[in-house]
């Protein structure tokens, strides 16, 4: 299994191209501005793009799902809770999708938004979680728009994500400090928000007073159309 990580400077977003041993691949959380980079990597590695996933309806960048579908004929996938009508397939909690030897399990983890999913990837002895904005390195996603809810996020973190194997590698959808990956064990030890009680966590999240993402008014309607602006 090959994993190639891409970083978008404007939104501090990570996206991931994952390839099987048979040169089929899928991409998670692609950013429209970086479409050419993805296509160049597919060509360079002689990969066929089978699926494109978004972990949730993004508010800080425009997705490349639509463009990648149009260019590569891949299937586009989001959670059934997402307010979109453009994807090829909706997945439900614990639904499994395979790409050759790679098993991808969709985990419904609401809280950052009401349609947030993580994707758990198993291949031989490796277990990897593409955690979207649910769990970040040393933090977690905000909960103050798109029907986010700190109570839901606390439950998603403690009852789903942190119950995974401690050696599970975490690849988040964002990082603002140059960090690229973590593990469940490292987050249990170092992530201060995971040590809070539910009441402390809810109070903390409700009092962050963050400004809205710069592109929220543009990105959300565009992403309801998979990034294809009509």
Q: Is the dihedral of CA 8, 6, 84, 140 positive or negative?
A: negative
β partners of residue 31: 63
Q: Which tens digits make up the pLDDT trace of 74-97?
A: 999 999 999 998 999 999 999 999
Mean pLDDT of all residues in 136-151: 97
Q: What is the pLDDT of residue 126?
A: 77
Q: Which tens digits make up the pLDDT trace of 12-60?
A: 999 999 999 999 999 999 999 999 999 999 999 999 999 999 999 999 9
Q: Which tens digits make up the pLDDT trace of 182-210?
A: 999 999 999 999 999 999 999 999 999 99
The whole model's pTM is what?
0.96
Q: Which tens digits make up the pLDDT trace of 151-175?
A: 999 999 999 999 999 999 999 999 9
pLDDT band of 229, cuts 50, 70, 90 = confident
What domains are defined for the chain? Answer: 2-211 (3.60.15.10)
Q: Please write down the HEC assignment for all residues of 48-114.
A: EEEEEECCCCCCCCCECHHHHHHHHCCEEEEECCCCCCCCCEEECCCCEEEECCEEEEEEECCCCCC
Rounded to an integer, what distance in angstroms lies between the CA atom of residue 124 and that of residue 140? Answer: 28
Give the start-end residues of each E strand in the chain. 2-8, 13-19, 24-28, 48-53, 75-79, 89-91, 96-99, 102-108, 117-123, 126-132, 169-172, 182-183
């Amino acid at each position: 299994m090959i994993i190639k990580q891409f970083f978008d400077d404007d939104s501090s977003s990570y996206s991931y191209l994952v390839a099987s041993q048979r040169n089929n691949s899928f991409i998670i959380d692609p950013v429209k501005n970086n479409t050419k980079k993805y296509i160049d990597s597919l060509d360079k590695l002689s990969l066929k793009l089978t699926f494109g996933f978004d972990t949730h309806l993004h508010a800080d960048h425009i997705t490349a799902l639509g463009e990648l579908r149009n260019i590569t004929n891949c299937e586009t996938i989001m959670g059934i809770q997402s307010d979109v009508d453009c994807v090829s397939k909706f997945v439900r909690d614990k639904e499994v999708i395979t790409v050759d030897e790679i098993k991808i399990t969709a985990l419904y983890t609401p809280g950052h938004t009401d349609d947030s999913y993580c994707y758990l990837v198993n291949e031989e002895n490796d277990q990897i979680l593409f955690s979207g904005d649910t769990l970040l390195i040393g933090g977690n996603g905000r909960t103050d728009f798109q029907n986010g809810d700190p109570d839901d996020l606390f439950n998603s973190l403690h009852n789903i994500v942190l119950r995974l194997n401690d050696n599970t590698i975490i690849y988040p959808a964002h990082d603002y400090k140059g960090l690229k990956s973590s593990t469940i064990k490292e987050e249990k030890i170092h992530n201060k928000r995971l040590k809070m009680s539910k009441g402390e966590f809810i109070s903390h999240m409700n009092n962050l007073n963050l400004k809205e993402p710069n592109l929220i008014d543009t990105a959300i309607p565009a992403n309801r159309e998979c990034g294809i602006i009509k």
